[in-house]
Structure 1
Amino acid sequence: MSPETQAPRPDGPGPLRLPPGIRLSGIGDEAGAPLATQIAALTALGWDTVELRTVDGTALADLDEAAFERTAAELAAAGLGVTCVDSRIANWARPITGDFELDLRELEILATRCARLGTDRIRVMSYPNDGLPQDRWRAEVLARMTELAARAEDAGLVLLHENCAGWAGTRADRMLELLDRVASPALKLLYDVGNGVAYGYDAYDLLPEIAPHIAHVHIKDATGTAEDVRYTLPGHGVCRVSDALRLLLDHGYTGVWSIEPHINVRPHESIALSGDEVLGAFIAYGQELERLADRLATAAEGREVAV
């Protein structure tokens, strides 16, 4: 399917319109743990790619070879490509004082598996602190990320740093310093529209500074506070989803908008319902993004005509 049209529109006749160069995807395990459920969710939406994090509750790097080969074969049989692999490298569960070898080993495994899946994108973070002084935390993060990026570059991979947990997770100046100090084409930014509420900052405020470096986008929305986050359909919370996507488009962004609803599934908080409720919520979330994308495409066409 072309980048500009995918499935029939969920709210009316005619093809779904997307802004030029944009494709829709989703983190599959947010629809359910089994791979068959993940495939069913993306297929129901009419989308042709999935973002992989876990299969049957197991991180992609921890699958045994037989399970991984089944995963790759089933995705291929369903006609689903993989946009990105969400690793645990430097994430909320791996503080800066943790064993760096865990991350190096995960990257080594994923390098082989990404090649098999046809993607070169791996989501990473930048290590939560664990009692280190600020200057030492910064120095250790920069050293580790430099090593990870060098190995990724050698393997033909791109690490996508998410505005989430870690030294550079919530501040634009640190994200830019990270990119500058690592100085590798194998390190770019992943922007999650909705992470700010849970981490106590305004994610939209980061965007003007970091927009040129963003290579992947997660769609999430929320209300509340860091102590009481309530996730919503995209465009129904306080995260300015539409404004953020419009700003990215104005900066020339092309690539993936990938849904991460967090409404019924939040692996880092051990929150997960199951069955048809989760699958249906994931599909409804994707359809809401389709409506939002269609409106953005229409608005963009209007601006072009006015010019």
Structure 2
Amino acid sequence: MTPEPWILTGFGDEIHTDPRIQIAVLKALGAKHIEIRSAWGTNILDLSEPQLHELRSLMDTNGINVSAVASPIGKVEIELPVEHEVDRLRTAIRAADILKAKFIRIFSFHCGAATGEASIRDAVMERMTALATLAEDAGVVLLHENEKDIYGDNPARILDIMETVDSPALKVAWDPANFVQVGISPFDEAYALLRPHVAYLQIKDARASDKVVVPAGEGDGDIPRTISALKADGYSGFISVEPHLASAHLLGGFSGPAAFGDATRALTSILADAGVQTA
């Protein structure tokens, strides 16, 4: 049986603020999907309904689809009430519905002034369960990204979230650079634990020595080994380019068209070496 090709996608706002340029560059690189974090310089949660419909029209005109809504949900302090992020998820679900996206990227909260891991854990699990319950009802899947400086920044806590919430609407988005930046060797320390929950790949790499983000294969993110293992495990799904090569900030990062192209070619070269086809 011929393996299914992996689906190439990428963070459009790493390329440019204008979604027309985002789409043009992604198409030139061979992608037929885009991950939406912002458009026209506005975060996905703040886009108006007419703007969302305009985005959908642009996608339809250009024959491109949305792989995921890359929301900032959960990238807030744990002290905020549960309903704060549940309300924002309702907004993200509406955006995903208009953009015809199944996946919504989320995080597991900054711990802020909270003290004591047990109390923080309980608050995180309460919030993640509420989010997953709403997602299940809406028919979308939440992707937890292992962002640094949130509760779920290491493999053990991510696994605890997955097993405690235990919802088909909550899966793992694998980001190797973020693991490197918190002192974790992604393949050796995280892959076996989290593989059963991985449903999406967000690819950037980083050097362990100075935490600087670099193109795939140039850092310590174990990307070639991980891709080979995923292929052997029968992974099929999205692989998203998120280079962060020019700058990074609280709600995302930027690379520009040229650096984004370099990052995409570095990744597709690794995929080709592993015998992974993309679509």
TM-score normalised to structure 1 length: 0.83
For residues 193-227 of structure 1, give each alpha carbon's deviation from its aligned partner in whole angstroms, at most 9, with x where no partner exists. Answer: 221232232222201111111000011111144xx
> What does residue 45 of structure 2 align with?
61
Is 1:121 the equivalent of 2:103? yes
Cα deviation for residue 298 of structure 1 reads: 7.1
Query: How many corresponding residue pairs?
Result: 273
> Which residue of the other structure, out of 245, 266, 279, is the alignment partner of 1:288?
266
> Which residue of the other structure, out of 217, 227, 235, is the alignment partner of 1:235?
217
After superposition, the Cα gap between the structure-2 partners of 1:45 and 1:111, relative to the gap in structure 1 and judged at 3 Å, is same
> What does residue 185 of structure 1 align with?
168
Cα deviation for residue 270 of structure 1 reads: 7.9
Looking at structure 2, the residues matched to 39 and 201 of structure 1 have their Cα atoms a distance apart, in angstroms, of 34
> In the alignment, residue 52 of structure 2 is paired with which amino acid?
F
Looking at structure 2, the residues matched to 49 and 107 of structure 1 have their Cα atoms a distance apart, in angstroms, of 22
> What does residue 184 of structure 2 align with?
201
CA contact (8 A) 1:25 1:51 kept: yes
Looking at structure 2, the residues matched to 271 and 195 of structure 1 have their Cα atoms a distance apart, in angstroms, of 13
> Which residue of the other structure, out of 143, 159, 162, is the alignment partner of 1:160?
143
CA contact (8 A) 1:122 1:157 kept: yes
Q: 5+ residue gaps in structure 1?
A: 5-18, 300-307
Identity across matched positions, percent: 30
After superposition, the Cα gap between the structure-2 partners of 1:59 and 1:160, relative to the gap in structure 1 and judged at 3 Å, is same
After superposition, the Cα gap between the structure-2 partners of 1:49 and 1:55, relative to the gap in structure 1 and judged at 3 Å, is same
> What does residue 136 of structure 1 align with?
119
For residues 250-270 of structure 1, give each alpha carbon's deviation from its aligned partner in whole angstroms, at most 9, with x where no partner exists. Answer: 222111111100101423288
- Corresponding residue SS for 1:98: coil
Q: 5+ residue gaps in structure 2?
A: none
Looking at structure 2, the residues matched to 61 and 104 of structure 1 have their Cα atoms a distance apart, in angstroms, of 13
Structure having the higher strand fraction is: 1
> Which residue of the other structure, out of 81, 85, 90, is the alignment partner of 2:74?
90
Looking at structure 2, the residues matched to 71 and 254 of structure 1 have their Cα atoms a distance apart, in angstroms, of 27
Is 1:112 the equivalent of 2:90? no
**Mean Cα deviation higher: 20-29 or 42-51:** 20-29
Q: Which has the larger radius of gyration?
A: 1
CA contact (8 A) 2:162 2:170 kept: yes
TM-score normalised to structure 2 length: 0.91
Is 1:256 the equivalent of 2:238? yes
CA contact (8 A) 1:30 1:265 kept: no
Cα deviation for residue 99 of structure 1 reads: 4.2
RMSD between superposed Cα atoms in Å: 2.0
For residues 18-76 of structure 1, give each alpha carbon's deviation from its aligned partner in whole angstroms, at most 9, with x where no partner exists. Answer: x6331111111111111112112111112100011011221111111222211111111
Looking at structure 2, the residues matched to 270 and 238 of structure 1 have their Cα atoms a distance apart, in angstroms, of 21
CA contact (8 A) 1:195 1:203 kept: no
For residues 213-253 of structure 1, give each alpha carbon's deviation from its aligned partner in whole angstroms, at most 9, with x where no partner exists. Answer: 1000011111144xx43221111112111011111222221
> What does residue 7 of structure 1 align with?
none
Looking at structure 1, the residues matched to 9 and 93 of structure 2 have their Cα atoms a distance apart, in angstroms, of 21
> In the alignment, residue 206 of structure 1 is paired with which amino acid?
A
